[in-house]
């Protein structure tokens, strides 16, 4: 899968090309990430990429022309059709469902804004879709672009080894994670729950599932709304809720 990222700071992309699972995807030739800098598509002496907002107000706005020329260059390098996604606070929320859908794209151009944002005409002319990673104020769209790349890279076939894909599966069953423990057995006077030391794999599985259900219902009840519970999950969640109110 090929990503062309339109960004004023291409070196930021090292975070996904040089480290972790996504860097393995790059080494395996399953992922390519190219930074394309709009500043290289300016024609003035000062290589201007931004200007003051019409109508006044604080901050600056990214000029449309360098962005459009950078997108054109990205599409050329893509070597085929490529959707353009603008990472933006106005975008639709990035979810695991959306990530799964994006895995089947062969080529994507990601547009990362800076300053107050980009000239609206650039969005009208070349952006196919706007995606947001969440509701907080950021300094740029590069980290959101890398969040999307990381989430997609993990789903590319052959990128995760067996252990990692088992881990991935445990994350995406739509529940929050159960507590994790590793050595030592007692740390600062705090022991690991007995069931995890019992060797009873079936009891351990149920304990972990119950913990995941309990945490999800406590911390993210919204996730439970979208999730059908199995008979066993319903029983464990009821058990938890009874114990809680006992």
Ligand X SMILES: CC(C)(C)c1cccc(C(=O)NCC2(NC(=O)c3cccc4nocc34)CCCC2)c1
In the bound state with ligand X, the residue whose beta carbon lies nearer, of 60 and 195, is 60
**Is 47 in the active site?**
no
In the bound complex, what is the minimum distance in angstroms from residue 23's beta carbon to ligand X? Answer: 22
Residues 6+ positions from 190 with CB-CB distance below 8 Å: none
**Is 121 in the active site?**
no
CB contact at 8 A, 13 and 33: yes
| Catalytic choice (40, 116, 167, 238) | 116
Q: Judged by CB under 6 A, which of 46, 58, 137, 228 binds ligand X?
A: 137
66 lies in the site for ligand X, by CB under 6 A = no
User: Nearest 5°: CA angle at 100, between 210 and 218?
Assistant: 25
Return phi, psi of residue 98, to 5°.
-65, -40
In the bound complex, what is the minimum distance in angstroms from residue 188's beta carbon to ligand X? Answer: 38
38 lies in the site for ligand X, by CB under 6 A = no
In the bound state with ligand X, the residue whose beta carbon lies nearer, of 38 and 144, is 144
Integer CA distances (angstroms), 72 to 52, 69, 126, in order: 24, 5, 9
Q: What is the CB neighbour count within 10 angstroms for residue 54? A: 8
In the bound complex, what is the minimum distance in angstroms from residue 71's beta carbon to ligand X? Answer: 16
- Residue nearest ligand X, Cβ-based: 144
DSSP assignment string, 76-144: HHHTS--EEEEEEEEEEEP-HHHHHHHTT-SEEEEEE--TT-B-HHHHHHH-SEEEES-SS--S-SHHH
In the bound complex, what is the minimum distance in angstroms from residue 36's beta carbon to ligand X? Answer: 17
| Catalytic choice (106, 169, 177, 185) | 169
User: With the CA atoms of 94, 100, 106 and 112 taken in that order, what torsion angle do they form, in degrees rounded to the nearest 10?
Assistant: 10
**Is 89 in the active site?**
yes
136 lies in the site for ligand X, by CB under 6 A = yes
Task: List the binding residues for S-adenosyl-L-methionine.
Answer: 113, 133-138
Residues that bind ligand X (CB under 6 A): 87-89, 91, 113-114, 117, 132-141, 144
């Amino acid at each position: 899968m090929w990503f062309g990222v339109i960004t004023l700071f291409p070196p930021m992309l090292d975070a996904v090309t040089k480290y972790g699972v996504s860097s393995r995807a790059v080494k395996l030739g399953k992922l390519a990430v190219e930074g394309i800098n709009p500043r290289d598509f300016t024609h003035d002496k000062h290589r201007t990429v931004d200007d003051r907002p019409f109508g006044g107000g604080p901050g600056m706005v990214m000029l449309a022309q360098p962005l459009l020329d950078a997108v054109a260059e990205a599409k050329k390098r893509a070597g085929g059709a490529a959707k353009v996604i603008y990472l933006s606070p106005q975008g639709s929320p990035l979810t695991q469902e959306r990530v799964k859908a994006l895995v089947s794209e062969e080529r994507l151009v990601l547009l990362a804004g800076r300053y107050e944002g980009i000239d609206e005409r650039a969005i009208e002319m070349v952006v196919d879709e706007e995606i947001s990673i969440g509701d907080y104020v950021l300094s740029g769209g590069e980290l959101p672009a890398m969040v999307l790349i990381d989430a997609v890279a993990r789903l590319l076939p052959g990128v995760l080894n067996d252990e990692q894909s088992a881990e991935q599966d445990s994350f995406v069953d739509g529940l929050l994670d159960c507590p994790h423990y590793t050595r030592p057995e007692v740390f600062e006077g705090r022991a690991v729950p007995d069931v995890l030391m019992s060797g009873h794999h079936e009891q351990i599985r149920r304990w972990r599932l119950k913990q995941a259900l309990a945490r999800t219902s406590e911390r993210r009840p919204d996730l439970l709304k979208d999730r059908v519970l199995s008979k066993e999950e319903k029983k464990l969640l009821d058990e938890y809720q009874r114990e809680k109110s006992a």
